[in-house]
Amino acid sequence: TPKTNSPLFRVLERERECIYIYIYRKRESMAEETASVPTVPTDLPVKRPREDGENNDNGGVSISVEMEDSNNKEPDYISSVIPGWFSEISPMWPGEAHSLKVEKILFQGKSEYQNVMVFQSSTYGKVLVLDGVIQLTERDECAYQEMITHLPLCSIPNPKKVLVIGGGDGGVLREVSRHSSIEQIDICEIDKMVIDVSKQFFPDVAVGYEDPRVTLHIGDGVAFLKAVPEGTYDAVIVDSSDPIGPAQELFKKPFFESVAKALRPGGVVCTQAESIWLHMHIIENIVANCRQIFKGSVNYAWTTVPTYPSGVIGFMLCSTEGPPVDFKHPVNPIDANDSHCKLKWPLKFYNSEIHAAAFCLPSFAKKVIDSKAK
């Protein structure tokens, strides 16, 4: 390490400043282009096909993932790889971007619903990106997958039938499989490409598909739930992406009504519920809808995921009228000695202490969420 007063140190510092200035100007340019375009939230985005030569499977230095609306306007957001870095930019978190150093682009494809990309990062392992937004990384996926699964399933005794909406990467299935009481696991994922890509590049995540209790349904989760007989499931886990594109229906009141109908008395739901630092307006609406629909418990929990915007993500946990559910005090702990838990993937994040702590909210968030109880 060069001394702070050495010529080499000053050269390195100057190079670093130049890099920061380049990234800053690049992001400002992108932000100005995006800000100049009015967005219509009700429009479903139509993805722009890549131009010839854009698909670089050798880790090329300039690859972009762009989305356009149906009127062929400029992209609503652009997440790109610029000289060796992936930068995540979206109107869901205006004025900021999270970047990861890219070692190599492993996959780029376009499904019927979204752009799909996998790249090897230098610090977080392989990364799955959908429509320019990071969904998981090998290093920190445990913090999300384990919490969204075990917060609800450890809060009720002996769950037997579980439905997963979304979650095409298979991580939630992996965690559900740890519970020996479960007899039936249904998963409904709309995008088969996500499943195939996850099995190829994230086998330790997609291992959940190998459980014989799992039945895979390719299709729309909203339509699937409407067709489910009343009172079918003990738990529903909604592992959705952000409320734009194909996932936006999973944040609306009719969807939660379908979930409540599909649950038995005292059944539970856990759904991805955004960040308290970025999306309190979305969380406020989710809480208000859930308090109208679910007559049992309604709680908000959160966890830390370093590669998600703001570094945190939340969960909405609700129960239907029936046997009372106290989400803050688990009654169904995971037995590490059980045959279904003897996986080569031990729990990395979840434990009973962090379960209880997940419901402790900072004052500003607690005030807003508690106000919806009145």
Q: Which residues lie below 8 Å from residue 267, measured CB to CB, with a gap of 6+?
A: 156, 231, 233, 234, 235, 236, 319, 320, 322
Q: Where are the domains of the chain?
A: 7-136, 141-371
Q: Go through 276-295 and write b for each residue having 16 or more CB atoms within 10 A of its CB, e for each that does not.
A: bbbbbebbebbbbbbeebbe
d(CA 207, CA 79): 29
Q: pLDDT digit string (tens) for 60-88?
A: 333 444 333 434 443 444 566 567 899 99
At 141, the pLDDT band (50, 70, 90 cuts) reads very high
Q: Percent of the chain, pLDDT > 90?
A: 63
d(CA 294, CA 298): 7
Tokens for 284, please give them: 């406020």
Q: How would you classify residue 167: left for phi > 0, otherwise alpha for psi between -120 and 50, otherwise beta?
A: left
pTM for the structure as a whole: 0.78
| CATH 3.30.70.100 is right for the domain spanning 141-371 | no
d(CA 138, CA 145): 11
Whether residue 147 contacts residue 183, with contact meaning beta carbons closer than 8 Å, is answered with no
Q: pLDDT digit string (tens) for 329-363?
A: 999 988 555 555 555 678 999 999 999 999 999 99
Whole-number average pLDDT of the chain: 82
Q: pLDDT digit string (tens) for 169-180?
A: 999 999 999 999
Question: For residue 279, what pLDDT is reported?
Answer: 87
| CATH 3.40.50.620 is right for the domain spanning 7-136 | no
Other Cβ atoms less than 10 A from the Cβ of 57: the count is 10
Name the residues annotated as catalytic: 239
Tokens 């854009």, located at residue: 54
